[in-house]
Structure 1
Amino acid sequence: MSPVRPSPAAERDAGLQPERTRLAWRRTTLACSVAAVLGVRQALRGGGAAGEAAEVVLIVLVWLVFLVVAHRRMRELAAARPPGLAPRAASGVVACTVALAALAVAVVL
């Protein structure tokens, strides 16, 4: 008599992993928010030229895009069996991170 094998869905016990991942997204969102606030603060201290206003708008835009992607991911992780991170979302997060770093360099220079 062969043993009864559980279905693949029953084999996986996610435990607290989705919650840890949600908390990691929250920490990352907080870090991105702090970086955006510091970037805006530095840009506004520069004197108020038109280029600096554009930098502020771009920083806020990048921050908002990151927040939207992160919030969607946190909502997905609330499911009983959350899906993997979509390549498009991962690319969006990477693009926001690189753009925020580039804007930080532009503000400093």
Structure 2
Amino acid sequence: MKTQRVEVSEFENKVKEVTEQSDAVFVYFFGTEDPSTGKLWCPDCVRADPVIRKTLDKESPHGLLLECPVGSRTEWKGNASHPYRTNPQTKLTAIPTLMRWTLAKWAFE
């Protein structure tokens, strides 16, 4: 499975672009890597990440995974105005979150 990292500022344009080209688009939201350790700051993300990637590689090898880091712990935790929380298409409440995205609609996976 191909992967592309997408920053918050480019999310909407990138999702629109790739869903017009492929019907197997998965959007994965997770805690950003901590610069001091190089590891994801979110313990749930650390546990889920290898499972998500392995499953998608097996089940959808020709699909596309958009990696959408939510930022640092302070940018995410308790920030009700985070763009992924307030975006009407994502309405993100927790990480990690994996969505399958289509032109017509999005669906939680």
Q: TM-score w.r.t. structure 1 length? A: 0.34
TM-score, with structure 2 as normaliser: 0.34
Structure with higher RCO (Cα < 8 A, 6+ apart): 2
